Amino acid sequence: MEHYARSIIPVIEYNYENFTALERTIADFFIQNKKKRDFSAKAVSERLYVSEASLSRFAKKCGFRGYREFIYQYEDTFREKKSRPFADNTRRVLDTYQELLNKAYNLADEKKFKKIAGMLFQAERIFVCGVGSSGIAARETELRFMRIGLNINSLVDRDMIRMRAVFQNETSLVIGFSMKGQTEEVQYMLQEAKRRGAGCVLVTARNNPDFMEYCDEVILVPALDNLEYGDAISPQFPILVMMDLLYACCLEQDQERIDAFLQDTARALTNP
């Protein structure tokens, strides 16, 4: 994969759990299809044994005005790809990174990042939590954002996450990392923090409307099947990509003040 390609595959994937059984059949076709063909409503409805009205409802659930708009953007997925002179394992790793970056490109929401950046600078205390590979991403996020003057702490121990939850208040901001959105401790932290008036942000690969019951914002991150196994690339990579985008927005908040913090932390690291 040679470039960032505009694709609506991530949009289909992140709405998958909200589809009906029939709509998932349609989704599976578009996700698994690898070649350009006749995508007219008539042709696809006959191939999948569904009505053209079902295709229209599916497209609207994906955020489009109708099937015609959906398929216009879907066809952009097919672009000529150049072969690369790499061994299979090398190609697999590079292609995995490229696929995730392409998905991040399509999921990035600058308005949302700017809003969350504002929340970060307004909060007196920030806690970022996660377990496993998400915990590794939480630690990296703490180290990165503390350099720009934020009072941020990472929580990676399951018991500590639960205990810290009861100390949150309206001056706090909690950011939870959970790729599947099902980590019990992270859910508890966000729910309890929200109940106590704290700001709450979930970073996840699942688009579940129920998250908004206890989150002010949800950042969707790119994902691939079995990514958590880490057999191709580091599983925390998708979270870190989105945190880098958020970090970039933070740098725009108060450039002079942030530059001073960055210089001070760099000086502290170079002067034992």
| Per-residue pLDDT tens digits for 103-152 | 888 888 999 999 999 999 999 999 999 999 999 999 999 999 998 899 99
201 Cβ contact partners less than 8 Å away, ≥ 6 residues apart? 116, 119, 173, 174, 175, 176, 215, 216, 217, 218, 219
Nearest Cα residue to 209 out of 62, 19, 18, 63: 18
Give the whole-angstrom CA distance, residue 255 versus residue 259: 6
User: pLDDT exceeding 70 applies to what percent of the chain?
Assistant: 90
The predicted pLDDT at position 195 comes to 96
The predicted pLDDT at position 240 comes to 94
Give the whole-angstrom CA distance, residue 242 versus residue 230: 18
The predicted pLDDT at position 6 comes to 62
The predicted pLDDT at position 130 comes to 96
The CATH class of the 9-82 domain is mainly alpha
Residue ranges matching CATH 1.10.10.10 in the chain: 9-82
More confident residue, 23 or 76: 23
227 Cβ contact partners less than 8 Å away, ≥ 6 residues apart? 179, 233, 235, 238
Q: In the predicted model, is pLDDT for residue 228 greater than 70?
A: no
Q: Into which CATH architecture does domain 109-270 fall? A: 3-Layer(aba) Sandwich (3.40)
Split at pLDDT 50, 70, 90, the class of 86 is low
The predicted pLDDT at position 1 comes to 41
The answer to whether residues 62 and 14 touch, using CB atoms and an 8 Å cutoff, is no
